Amino acid sequence: MEGLIPLGKTDIRISRMGLGTWQWGDRLMWSYGKTHTDRDLREAFQATLDAGINFFDTAEVYGKGRSERLLGEYLREACQPPSAAPLVVASKFMPYPWRLRKGALCSALRASLTRLNMVRVDLYQIHWPFPPVPIATWANALADAVEAGWARAVGVSNFNPAQMSRAYEVLAKRGVPLASNQVEYQLLNRRVEHNGLLDLCHQLGVTLIAYSPLGKGLLTGKYTPEIRPPGARGFTVSKARLGRIQPLIQRLREIGVAHGGKSPAQVALNWLIAKGTVPIPGAKNARQAQENAAALGWSLAACEIARLDEESQKASE
Ligand SMILES: NC(=O)c1ccc[n+]([C@@H]2O[C@H](COP(=O)([O-])OP(=O)(O)OC[C@H]3O[C@@H](n4cnc5c(N)ncnc54)[C@H](OP(=O)(O)O)[C@@H]3O)[C@@H](O)[C@H]2O)c1
């Protein structure tokens, strides 16, 4: 399929954008069961496949395993033309404080594989660099997972440059490349540009997977000081902040118009692709999945990227 890129330095090939599945089963943050049902999610999954996207991100903690179970179910029934690219499934290990032994990672991975109904996951990631277990121990456990044939490739998530370098070195000694680092990155959070992580990923050939690429919905433009996001998300963003981001939303709209009517979400996702990263927007239904997928297949001009860089700076001041 056209437009696929390598995942890090592996032979796995992914679309320039993936689909995030935190929403699949999560009631607290994402109001699963109220704003979207399993039927909506199945349709979002199929719409994503139809758009040529082959990369899906889940985690053992999403919906307490429900996200992996639903993804496993949809994968089993997936309706894809024979010429379509093989699907690439990523999941994550949570280093809970009671998981103290290296073997905990492979046990958790096998439980994920059962929920996903797969014999091997394409990408297995450490969700957070939480203490007390050292990064080297979990990195060695990732290498064990590859050697055992339970993961094709491995990655980390929420690792800063020093933490990522440590994981990279330990894996390299075992002959396993660190494929990816999944971190928050979008126009409202550009920390990875300031702390050197984006440059380091490019230097080392590690794919930066950008999570919350729509700022948990804020960059779609549908939330304003008067219209707050539903559920727990409403408590994470103040009225003042919602007011501060409106000029950026206006800029996204203007640029979208210049590209034949692209939406703020599509422009925000295209900006992340232009930065050399792979965004994984979450979608609650087919309409959102289709809209997000149309961020592919066109490119922002350099001057538009510069204007968005400038406006996003002001929105975060
Ligand atoms: N590794 C980590 O620690 C970590 C952390 C967070 C996320 N992630 C991953 O990254 C994925 C994406 O991040 P995210 O889910 O936090 O946030 P996001 O992708 O920035 O926002 C997703 C939400 O925005 C709204 N939305 C999406 N597309 C839309 C559209 N076209 N039009 C209108 N509204 C739209 C939907 O919520 P509403 O309709 O309710 O507004 C959707 O649930 C997650 O699903 C997960 O796989 C990983």
Predicted confidence (pLDDT) per residue in 99-129, tens digit: 999 999 999 999 999 999 999 999 999 999 9
Q: Average model confidence (pLDDT) for the chain?
A: 96
Q: What percent of the chain shows pLDDT beyond 70? A: 99
pLDDT in tens, 223-275: 999 999 998 898 899 999 999 999 999 999 999 999 999 999 999 999 999 99
Give the CATH number for residue 198. 3.20.20.100
Q: Kindly state the tokens that stand for 91.
A: 């999941």
Residue 263 placed within a domain = no
Residue 268 placed within a domain = no
Residue 235 placed within a domain = no
74 is an active site residue:
no
Domain coverage including residue 167: 5-215+275-285+292-299
- Place 314 in a pLDDT band, splitting at 50, 70 and 90: confident
Atom 48 of ligand 1: nearest residue by CA position: 211
State the Cα–Cα distance between residues 278 and 120, nearest whole angstrom.
22
Helices then strands (H, E): number in the chain?
12, 10
Taking the centre of ligand 1 as the mean of its atom positions, its distance from the CA of residue 256, in whole angstroms, is: 20
Residues in a beta bridge with 126: 93, 156
Mean pLDDT of 306-310: 97
Q: What is the number of the ligand 1 atom nearest to the C-alpha of 284?
A: 43
Kind plus residue range of the DSSP H or E element containing 91: strand 88-93
Q: How many domains does the chain have?
A: 1
- Place 78 in a pLDDT band, splitting at 50, 70 and 90: confident
- Place 2 in a pLDDT band, splitting at 50, 70 and 90: low
Question: Which spans in the chain are helix H?
Answer: 38-50, 66-76, 103-116, 135-147, 161-173, 191-194, 197-204, 239-244, 246-258, 264-274, 286-293, 302-316
Residue 267 placed within a domain = no
pLDDT at 317: 66
Residue 257 placed within a domain = no
Residue 304 has pLDDT above 60, yes or no: yes
pLDDT at 82: 73
Residue 126 placed within a domain = yes
Atom 38 of ligand 1: nearest residue by CA position: 217
Residue 170 placed within a domain = yes
Taking the centre of ligand 1 as the mean of its atom positions, its distance from the CA of residue 134, in whole angstroms, is: 30
For the question of whether the overall pTM of this predicted structure is more than 0.75, the answer is yes
Taking the centre of ligand 1 as the mean of its atom positions, its distance from the CA of residue 149, in whole angstroms, is: 31
| Residues having CB within 6 Å of any atom of ligand 1 | 20-23, 30, 35, 57, 127, 157-158, 182, 211-217, 220, 222, 229, 265, 280-284, 288, 291-292
Residue 254 placed within a domain = no
